[in-house]
Amino acid sequence: MQIFGVDIGGSGIKGAPVDLDRGDLAQERCKVLTPQPATPDAVAEGVRQVVEHFGWSGPVGITFPGVVTGGATIRTAANVDRGWVGTDARALFGERLGGLPVTVVNDADAAGVAEMRFGAGRDRRGTVVLLTFGTGIGSAVFTDGVLVPNTELGHLELDGHDAEKRASSKARDDHDLSWEHWARRVQRYLAHVEMLFSPDLFIIGGGVSRKAHKFLPHITGIEAEIVPARLQNNAGIVGAALRAAAAEEETVG
């Protein structure tokens, strides 16, 4: 079974059909740059370009980098235009995609769902925290496999700042930090999250998961197991497709 997934990030909008039996992309993904400013209309156009690249005509799952309530309404927009707040994203994307069935989900929640189904969190019980390090820091928290949605732990305070301003992948690039120096910031952040949630497992996702060997060995003093995401930067696309498939099943049911 194939469903289309789109992952909207602060720097890129990427998508592809997903093989839900394998939990992997069915075709090489298409990516366009996230428009600046990332207004609702401009981002919706980027999503349309990605979906139409494949000539897709079925259900589409779309991630958003912020809180999504009711499967449609955007409540926060830290790394995109503030005009998103209050937008019915499901209606916006559905209209731009010519009436295709659309499901909208928080981006880190989507990545977490994918990792729990097909990746590093598969068959893991207890408390699992996935953290995506990119333009910001996204989070997904699971207890015995059940998602606690829209946690947004990247906005916890760290050293007087939003944690993502200190420990995101973008912060590493902006401040030209070595992997070891950045790992110390990530370690402080993980220690703070661990104090609050006492997880059994941290899954580190986002683009940096491909380079886990450069920073994970420098992170010490964390009691929870720490592993890189297996689906790496495709987790959001796969998770979006999973959510769209679930919504389609509910509709048919």
Q: Check if 2-106 and 120-229 are the same fold.
A: yes
The per-residue pLDDT of the chain, averaged, comes to 96
Average pLDDT value for residue range 168-184 = 97
Report the candidate in 50, 93, 84, 52 with the shortest Cα–Cα distance to residue 244.
Answer: 93
Specify the pLDDT at position 253.
56
Specify the pLDDT at position 7.
97
pLDDT, tens only, 68-116: 999 999 999 988 999 999 999 999 999 999 999 999 999 999 999 999 9
Residue with tokens 């998961």: 209
Q: Give SS3 for 236.
A: helix
Which amino acid makes up residue 173? D
pLDDT, tens only, 20-48: 999 999 999 999 999 999 999 999 999 99
Model confidence at 252: pLDDT above 70: no
Q: Is 11 exposed, middle or buried (0-12, 13-18, 19+ CB in 10 A)?
A: middle
pTM over 0.85: yes
Which amino acid makes up residue 167? A
User: Looking at the domain 120-229, which fold is it?
Assistant: Nucleotidyltransferase; domain 5 (3.30.420)
Residues 171 and 161: their CA atoms lie apart, in Å, by: 12
Answer positive or negative: Cα dihedral of 234, 124, 228, 213.
Answer: negative
Residues 248 and 241: their CA atoms lie apart, in Å, by: 10
133 forms bridges with which residues in the sheet? 137
* Domain covering 2-106 in this structure, CATH number: 3.30.420.40
* Cα 65–Cα 71–Cα 74 angle in degrees, nearest 5: 45
Domain ranges of the chain: 2-106, 120-229
